[in-house]
Amino acid sequence: MTMRSKLRLGALPVIGVAAALAPLFLAGYRLVFFLLMFLHVGLAYSWNLVSGFTGYISFGHVAFFGIGAYVVGILSGIHHWNWLIAVPLAGALVLVISLPLGWLMLRLKGPYFAIGMLAVAQATALVASLWDGLTRGGLGIFVSSSYNVVGVYYGLLIVLAVVMGVTYWVDNSRFGLRLLSIREDESAAEAMGVDTTRDKILAFALSALFPGLIGGLYAWYIGYIDPRSVFSLFFSVNMILMTLLGGAGTFLGPLIGGIAFTFVVESLWVRFPEYHLMSTGLAVIVIVMFIPNGIIDVLKKRGWLTHRRRILTRLIRSVETTPQKKAEVPERV
């Protein structure tokens, strides 16, 4: 392992410890800023798992976020369950819902899938609005009367660490290669023996789980939810925007995109409260026109980052340095 690699790997625990200790030193808006950053980056990572790796662009991931928020809203806000139990249940329910939904929706391709997922999000919001008996409809739910920043901060930090770990695994695994092959050419991937349906559904479920958890934490943090706030299309758009900004289908892309997005949005929100939404639209245009493959791609083209899957590099090195392993190549080829 090179010194550079050691430094890079060593930086992760340092950043992790710093993030874990931050609530001891930060308070008020400064802590909320990082909480929102974790929320944004976590959502970007979630969306990236299915849309970035397989190319199935979802405009409806807010549905999972909203369902997660409502599960915590109903369990903790109405039935007074402990939020530490309600949040994992929110994730579990979303995971269960995502499997048949993925099986159904992933039959659609390209723009049809994108629009189909948008319809799923709208339909879910409608159910939340109309099912008064369960969700209290348009009145919304008061989830919590206390200010829960520190607990939610740690909750989001854990979810973020897990989703980053899952993405790192996907990016360095054969599963990840299969997902990328689906993005590149699904028919050719299937002709290579890739069970595209199974892999897409698995990616979709993983991608739905984390917004469910994050939505649950968000509901506990924000204290009051209604269909308009937690099913807002902006959550979906922001997931897409952050991932495209950083680089879809990569490990570092959502991190870079999410951090940059949080800085820009929070700066504009504070200084130009009436114009900040316009900036989101402008950002989309700028990204699509000038850096369609994200910041990661720019860094790679400039030679500041290399395209390397650590697991493959290690594997090939070991195969090359072990001559007897060549015997494993079947005689027929």
Partner 1 sequence: MSEGSEPVLRTDGLLKRFGGVTAVDGCGFEVMRDSMTGLIGPNGSGKTTTFDLITGFQRPDKGTIYFEDNRIDGDRPYRIARNGLGRTFQITRVFPQMTVLENLLVGATGTELRSAAARALHLLDLVGLSDLRDEFCSRLSFGQQKLVEMARIHMRPQKLVLLDEPFAGVNPTLTEKLVAYIEKLRGEGTTYLIIDHEMKLIMRICDRILVLDQGKLLTEGSPEEVQTNSQVLSSYFGDK
Binding site for partner 1 (CB under 8 A): 174, 177-178, 180-181, 183-185, 187-196, 307, 309, 312, 315-316, 318-320, 325-326, 328-333
- What is the nearest approach in angstroms of partner 1 to the Cβ of residue 193? 4
- What is the nearest approach in angstroms of partner 1 to the Cβ of residue 109? 14
Query: Cβ closer to partner 1: 55 or 91?
Result: 55
- What is the nearest approach in angstroms of partner 1 to the Cβ of residue 185? 5
Query: Cβ closer to partner 1: 6 or 317?
Result: 317
Query: Cβ closer to partner 1: 280 or 293?
Result: 293
Query: Cβ closer to partner 1: 228 or 314?
Result: 314
What would you measure as the largest C-alpha separation in the chain, in angstroms?
70
- What is the nearest approach in angstroms of partner 1 to the Cβ of residue 229? 37
- What is the nearest approach in angstroms of partner 1 to the Cβ of residue 296? 12
Query: Cβ closer to partner 1: 124 or 181?
Result: 181
